[in-house]
């Protein structure tokens, strides 16, 4: 309890001192109380909020390793699982804006002719909108088998599923697929001539390098919960999932990723918004674009507001990022327990609205 109180006071004082002029004490107090309540469900948790280009709120609670009593701090890395798709999508958005991808409807078979014949109809756009027809996991055993792979590239990871038939014709239906995003990671490597991790850090301006899952003293120990007891998830890795779920990150890095949609580091805001609108079905105002949920909602004011979001959760990790693009607010959380994804979404949208001044 003493550690929690210290973390609360330090975070509060930093936020108040640096951003007191733009963020009210009432908002900061509300954020701390909400975060502290949410954090009780996790061994360790961090939350970061950017308002415009500055950190408006940041906190860390609990332990990255319970047995060693090592506290979480804002530099602690967490397995973010499917939120990796958000970051991968941003990398493709940057390639589009730079003109290095001149047509999202280009067949991935043209980019890599060595791919199987049944991939000829799959386009880059299909991969980024989950319309490729490439399958997803077929149950928990399939998930664990793929996670256990020891590979050196997305192309090696693809050998696990690449000969499987497509579950539907490319473009026919939207069906969520982590394997499709592993293929997207391979295509990213082919376009850039870099490894997947190198390409992300070359294209996207993170304050510290974004990393594939790996052993690190900075990485939080992953836990499962049985009753009130936490047990360590042994031997669980995620690197084989690459852009589908293989990254580790801090909540600050995730919030930075969200901030890239409005801070001009990828493209001017009006161009970002137009790029997303082009990805939705005719006359639709929301959908999957650049591997993330996004759209234009009238729930935040008189005019439609652009939002983007993505969450990830599996044994040992939970993450979420949500951006209210027009309000220039980005919220992210990371934890070392799978937890409740719906609750993660709710606290992120609640904090985003508070810092946007909507409530």
Supply the pLDDT for residue 13.
42
Within 10 angstroms of residue 6's Cβ, the number of other Cβ atoms is 11
Supply the pLDDT for residue 292.
98
Supply the pLDDT for residue 236.
78
- The CATH number for 1-359, chosen from 3.40.50.11030, 3.30.230.10, 3.40.710.10, 3.50.20.10, is 3.40.710.10
C-alpha 312/C-alpha 308 separation (Å) is 14
Supply the pLDDT for residue 227.
87
Supply the pLDDT for residue 9.
42
Along the chain (359 residues), what's the average pLDDT of each consecutive run of 10 residues?
42 44 88 97 98 98 96 98 98 97 96 97 98 96 94 98 97 97 98 98 98 95 93 91 98 98 97 96 93 94 93 96 98 97 97 93
**Within 78-167, where are the H helices?**
84-97, 108-111, 124-128, 140-147, 154-158
Give Cβ neighbours of residue 85 (< 8 Å, ≥ 6 apart): 178, 181, 243, 244, 245, 291, 292, 310, 312
Supply the pLDDT for residue 164.
97
Supply the pLDDT for residue 108.
98
**C-alpha 253: how far from chain center:** 9
Three-state DSSP at 14 gives helix
Q: How many residues does the chain have?
A: 359
**DSSP secondary structure, 9-33, as one string:** HHHHHHHHHHHTTTS-HHHHHHHHH
Among the listed residues 39, 36, 42, the one whose alpha carbon sits nearest the alpha carbon of residue 338: 42
């Amino acid at each position: 309890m003493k550690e929690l109180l210290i973390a609360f006071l330090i975070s509060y004082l930093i936020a108040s001192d640096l951003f007191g002029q733009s963020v009210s004490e009432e908002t900061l107090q509300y954020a701390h109380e909400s975060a502290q309540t949410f954090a009780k469900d996790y061994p360790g948790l961090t939350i970061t909020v950017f308002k415009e280009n500055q950190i408006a709120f940041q906190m860390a609670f609990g332990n990255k390793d319970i047995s060693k009593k090592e506290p979480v701090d804002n530099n602690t890395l967490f397995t973010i699982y499917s939120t990796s798709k958000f970051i991968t999508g941003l990398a493709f958005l940057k390639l589009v804006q730079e003109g290095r991808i001149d047509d999202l409807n280009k067949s991935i078979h043209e980019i890599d002719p060595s791919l199987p014949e049944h991939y000829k109809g799959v386009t880059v756009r299909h991969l980024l909108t989950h319309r490729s027809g490439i399958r997803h996991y077929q149950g928990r055993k399939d998930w664990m088998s793929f996670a256990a792979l020891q590979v050196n590239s997305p192309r090696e990871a693809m050998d696990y599923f690449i000969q499987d038939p497509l579950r539907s014709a490319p473009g026919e239906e939207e069906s969520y697929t982590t394997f499709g995003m592993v293929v997207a990671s391979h295509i990213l490597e082919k376009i850039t001539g870099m490894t997947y991790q190198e390409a992300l850090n070359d294209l996207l301006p993170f304050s510290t390098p974004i990393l594939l899952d790996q052993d690190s003293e900075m990485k939080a120990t992953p836990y499962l919960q049985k009753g009130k007891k936490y047990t360590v998830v042994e031997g669980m890795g995620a690197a084989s999932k690459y852009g589908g779920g293989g990254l580790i990150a801090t909540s600050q890095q995730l919030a930075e990723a969200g901030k890239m949609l409005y801070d001009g580091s990828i493209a001017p805001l009006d161009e970002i918004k137009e790029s997303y609108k082009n990805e939705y079905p005719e006359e639709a105002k929301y959908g999957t674009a650049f591997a993330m949920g996004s759209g234009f909602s009238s729930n935040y004011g008189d005019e439609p507001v652009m939002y983007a979001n993505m969450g990830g959760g599996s044994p040992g990790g939970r993450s979420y990022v949500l951006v209210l693009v027009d309000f220039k607010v980005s919220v992210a959380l990371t934890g070392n327990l799978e937890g409740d994804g719906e609750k993660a979404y709710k606290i992120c949208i609640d904090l985003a609205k508070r810092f946007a001044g909507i409530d």
